[in-house]
Amino acid sequence: MRIDIITIFPEICLAPLRESIIGRAQETGRVNLRAHDLRDWTHDRHRQVDDLPYGGGPGMVMKPEPFFEAVEALRTPEARVILLTPQGRRFDQAEARRLSAESHLILLCGHYEGIDHRVVEALVDEELSIGDYVLTNGTLAAAVIVDAVVRLLPGVLGDERSAEEESFAAPGVLEGPHYTRPAEFRGMKVPDVLLSGHHARIEAWRRERGLERTRENRPDLQD
């Protein structure tokens, strides 16, 4: 998969994706990830990417020209162009799975108060939000989406089962709790069933505790 991120802060999204699993996915060529500085597609001395809003109001609006030039330079026939914005449809695990089947994503990161709407109308295939809160810009949101999508690509996770068994793979139920050694720590014991070697009972226990955690932390998932 190829992913191009267009942002005024390339380092903000690249830094967290350089480590660990996503870093290795890049090294082994499972993903070709690049972050581009939007200002590279400006032509004035100040490399300006924003301007005053028509109609007045607070803040600045991102100019259309650099986004158009950037997308036109990077686009391939298969590219899916996505704008990160708090006004987008909410990203979740199902969206991550859907995007992991694409071959080329171009992620546009908004900043300031907004982005000239001609970008949305003429360039963008879809708008995504990572949650109902407002970040200072879309760059961290792009990093979140890349992480969630790339770990689903074939060969990226060491143990393929972990992508299947995790929370949200089964809609509406969270994962049960996990334990590792020592079997007793500061008086707290690992549940006996996990030491029993009885796989069917362990499975049933995990399912039950997963449901319990769902009722406690995410009752909305069971509605």
The footprint of ligand ADE (CB under 6 A) covers: 84-86, 110, 129-131, 133-135, 137-138, 141
Nearest residue to ligand ADE by CB is: 141
- Angle in degrees, CA 68, 1, 36, rounded to 5: 35
Q: Distance between CA 181 and CA 162 in Å, rounded?
A: 19
Omega prior to 219 cis, within 30 of 0: no
The smaller minimum CB distance to ligand ADE, of residues 85 and 214, is found at: 85
The smaller minimum CB distance to ligand ADE, of residues 140 and 156, is found at: 140
Provide, rounded to whole angstroms, the least separation between the CB of residue 94 and ligand ADE: 17
Provide, rounded to whole angstroms, the least separation between the CB of residue 135 and ligand ADE: 4
The smaller minimum CB distance to ligand ADE, of residues 25 and 108, is found at: 108
Provide, rounded to whole angstroms, the least separation between the CB of residue 107 and ligand ADE: 10
The smaller minimum CB distance to ligand ADE, of residues 105 and 156, is found at: 105
The smaller minimum CB distance to ligand ADE, of residues 100 and 129, is found at: 129
The smaller minimum CB distance to ligand ADE, of residues 10 and 138, is found at: 138
Provide, rounded to whole angstroms, the least separation between the CB of residue 148 and ligand ADE: 13
Q: Distance between CA 8 and CA 84 in Å, rounded?
A: 13
Provide, rounded to whole angstroms, the least separation between the CB of residue 33 and ligand ADE: 18
Sheet containing 50-51: order of strands:
50-51, 61-62, 114-115
User: Cβ(219)–Cβ(211) under 8 Å?
Assistant: no
Question: Whose structure tokens read 């500061």?
Answer: 186
CB burial string 10-24: b at 16+ within 10 A, e below: bebbbeebeeeebee
Q: Distance between CA 147 and CA 116 in Å, rounded?
A: 27
Of 87, 64, 91, 46, nearest to 6 by C-alpha is 64
Provide, rounded to whole angstroms, the least separation between the CB of residue 13 and ligand ADE: 12
Q: How many CA atoms lie within 13 A of 128 on its CB side?
A: 27
